[in-house]
Amino acid sequence: MNGPQYEKFNQKDLDTVLKKHEMFRKGLRGGIRANLKFKDLSGLDFRAFNLEGADFTGSILRGANLSGGVYEGVSFFACDLRNANLERAVFKRADFRGAYVAGANLTGADLESADMREGRIMESGEDGTMSQMNLGKERSKGRTNFAGAKMTETNLSGSRASDADFSEADLTGVIINDADLRGVNFTGANLTNADFSGCDLRNANLKESINEGVKLTAAETDGAAFDAHKQQKKMDDVLEEQGLTIKDMLEGHAEWITSKGGKGNQLDISNIDMRETKSLKDYPLTAIRAIDANFVKMDLAGCEMQFCQFDKSDFRDTNLSESDLRGSRFIEARLNRANLENANLSPLKFSTPDGGSRLERVNLSGANLKYANLRGANLRDCVLMGTDLSNADLSGADLTRADLTGANIENINLKNATTDKAVFDKTGIASG
């Protein structure tokens, strides 16, 4: 079986179909229901149309813009929706069985009563026997895949998603009441404040997930896998114990920096949960120590955090765009889904006593950057040995002389990236 032949559409082709479907919905003469089965619709704009009742079975919609549209009862059976924009769209009762939706943006989307169970397209062979259609390596697995998708504030109530893959997805604040989630993979997902009331979570895998504030009222959890809760002090409790304010600590750290250690105290927030600390980015944070600290989903855009120690800290879903991270260490840190767009992760130059200089390189060895946004980031000379960069977006990034020895670069986006003299040993890519 060679698989389907895809008809490639351009924007003009799609606009014609959209117009005729709108006429069909309104009962106008010449209207035709949108039948877009086995089409290549990659990168096209659906212009927030109402496509209720349309059929996209088996089609490729990679990077397409479906935001704001209405897709009630639409079939996305076995579709490729990787990195598509589905923001604020309505997918009530839509059929996503066997769809590959990894990395898509579903922020604010409504998937009430959507069907996300396994699904495979079968075809008849020359001898009349039925076999699974070849849709490529990933989609032929049949398992509905929302891995790494951004799904904050979505409504998944009543959905059927048994055995679906939501690993590494951001499901912050989702409402998933009375849904069938048996055997679902939530490994590494952000489930903060998610409402699973009345759900069937039997045999689901929630290991390594962020589950602060999760509601499990009347949920069935037999056989579900959870991690032991990690004990970390909250910053407010630490301040109360020491009789200080965060302003006092940050000013003391600033004094320690300007006096080169002569006055004040280095800020050490190791093993502390910083998530409720609002004013952190109002001060320069050069040379802070933060081993195994929690910064999950914080807004640290534009922060000055040069020459810091962040080993094993948790920055999942954190906004670090435009931040200055030169010379800092992130060994085995968790930066899954973090926004590092245009961040500076280049070396920091120090003078030596003999009048020379040395470079302190950013070290991300063993860090997890799955689905991270590193578009336009400066990663010159960065140490990325053994780093998990799978599904990360490094388009336009500068990787000059970066060391990616042993890194996982599966599905990485290096479009327009600079890789001069970068080391890609044991990654499957030849060195530049």
Q: What is the pLDDT of residues 190-207, one digit of tens each?
A: 999 999 999 999 999 999
pLDDT recorded at residue 363: 99
Contact status, residue 87 vs residue 108, Cβ threshold 8 Å:
yes
pLDDT recorded at residue 127: 52
Secondary-structure class of domain 1-229 per CATH: mainly beta
How far is residue 277's CA from residue 267's CA, in Å, rounded to a whole number? Answer: 14
How far is residue 350's CA from residue 357's CA, in Å, rounded to a whole number? Answer: 5
CATH code that applies to domain 232-432? 2.160.20
- Stretches where the chain sits below pLDDT 70 are 1-4, 119-143, 428-432
How far is residue 16's CA from residue 39's CA, in Å, rounded to a whole number? Answer: 14
- The residue whose two tokens read 């059927």 is 160
Inter-CA distances, 213 with 108, 109, 178, Å: 19, 21, 18
Question: What pTM did the predictor assign?
Answer: 0.85
pLDDT recorded at residue 119: 52
CATH 2.160.20.80 region(s) of the chain? 1-229
pLDDT recorded at residue 431: 53
Phi/psi class of residue 269: alpha, beta or left (left: φ > 0; alpha: ψ in -120 to 50)?
Answer: alpha
End-to-end CA separation in angstroms for the chain: 38
Enter the tokens of residue 204.
């689901």
The one-letter code for the residue type at 181 is L
Inter-CA distances, 418 with 121, 258, 319, 348, 421, Å: 40, 36, 23, 20, 9
Strands 7-8 and 233-234: unpaired
